């Protein structure tokens, strides 16, 4: 508790910067103080209680938090804890996927020893099938979370489908506008607070008509929500639509 209070007396982002400069003592205090936060992030992925003294997943989360400290930059456009949470979740998902994949391989190897006739292609197929299932499950979880986020912006998944631009170029332009909106600190703060687009300010910075901007308003807002939240899979989908290099 003492470490936590000491850390809270200063900006967490400033403390992370001090650690990046080489303050190892402060680094240890930071890791110790945020163990409960790390365990909570890991447990959200694992869907069960995580014991920091017993569960391997916690070690993965702890190392991910350490990695987040070293990789974080205020230029990323998010708070350190939001960034760290995303890193922890991604690393935990990767660990679980790897462990489950290894488990599948071991299981199939045992069958091979028994029957001496298993095709190696079946092992690869089983691994691929598992990864597809895992990815689909993670995407469903993100869609459920997005649905809740949309509600706070007076939007719905059904409405998002209806307002999505039909033409690829129109979608690409709308996504580009959402990305510009997300990267602008002042406009991002406005959207987060007001739950709507800063139409006048945005119109000054884009090369589309106000009519087009208004027509795609809800879609742009929905894409902004995806960029601004912890939507790893949905963000990957957005990247596939346009050539954007946005960071975590």
Place of tokens 């190892």: 24
Q: How confident is the model at residue 192 (pLDDT cuts 50, 70, 90)?
A: very high
| pLDDT at residue number 218 | 94
Segment 201-236, tens digit of pLDDT: 999 998 888 899 999 999 999 999 998 887 877 888
- Whether the per-residue pLDDT at 190 is higher than 70: the answer is yes
Domain ranges of the chain: 2-76, 94-150, 157-241
Report pLDDT for 128. Answer: 61
**pLDDT class for 191, splitting at 50, 70, 90?**
very high
pLDDT band at 76 (very low <50, low <70, confident <90, very high): low
55 vs 105: CA distance, rounded Å: 22
Q: Which DSSP helix (H) or strand (E) runs through 76?
A: none
Answer yes or no: is pLDDT of 135 > 50: yes
Taking phi first (over 0 means left), then psi (-120 to 50 degrees means alpha), and beta for anything else, what does residue 29 get?
alpha
The 3 state secondary structure assigned to 1-41 is: CHHHHHHHCCCHHHHHHHHHCCCHHHHHHHHHHCHHHHHHH
**pLDDT at residue 113, as a whole number:** 46
Within 10 angstroms of residue 245's Cβ, the number of other Cβ atoms is: 6
Listed range (3-12, 76-85, 147-156, 164-173) with the worst mean pLDDT: 3-12
**Residues 34, 62: Cα–Cα separation, whole Å:** 9
Cα–Cα distances (Å) from 48 to 40, 51, 58, in that order, read 10, 10, 12
3-state secondary structure of 199: helix
- Residue 185: the pLDDT is 92
């Amino acid at each position: 508790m003492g470490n936590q209070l000491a850390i809270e007396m200063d900006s967490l982002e400033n403390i992370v910067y001090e650690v990046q400069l080489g303050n190892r003592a402060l680094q240890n205090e930071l890791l110790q103080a945020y163990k409960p936060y790390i365990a909570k992030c890991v447990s959200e992925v694992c869907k069960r209680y995580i014991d920091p003294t017993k569960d391997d997943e916690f070690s993965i989360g702890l190392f991910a938090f350490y990695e987040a400290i070293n990789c974080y930059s205020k230029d990323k456009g998010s708070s350190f804890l939001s960034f760290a949470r995303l890193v922890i979740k991604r690393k935990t998902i990767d660990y679980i996927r790897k462990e489950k994949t290894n488990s599948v391989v071991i299981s199939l190897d045992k069958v091979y020893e028994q029957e001496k006739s298993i095709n190696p292609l079946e092992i690869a197929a089983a691994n691929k099938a598992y990864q597809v299932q895992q990815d689909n499950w993670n995407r469903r979880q993100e869609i459920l979370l997005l649905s809740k986020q949309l509600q706070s912006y007076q939007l719905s998944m059904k409405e998002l489908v209806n307002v999505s631009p039909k033409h690829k170029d129109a979608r690409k332009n709308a996504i580009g506008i959402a990305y510009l909106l997300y990267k602008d600190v002042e406009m991002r703060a406005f959207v987060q607070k007001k739950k709507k687009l800063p139409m006048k300010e945005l119109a000054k910075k884009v090369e589309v008509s106000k009519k087009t901007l208004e027509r795609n308003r809800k879609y742009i807002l929905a894409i902004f929500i995806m960029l601004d939240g912890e939507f790893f899979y949905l963000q990957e989908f957005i990247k596939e639509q346009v050539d954007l290099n946005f960071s975590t």
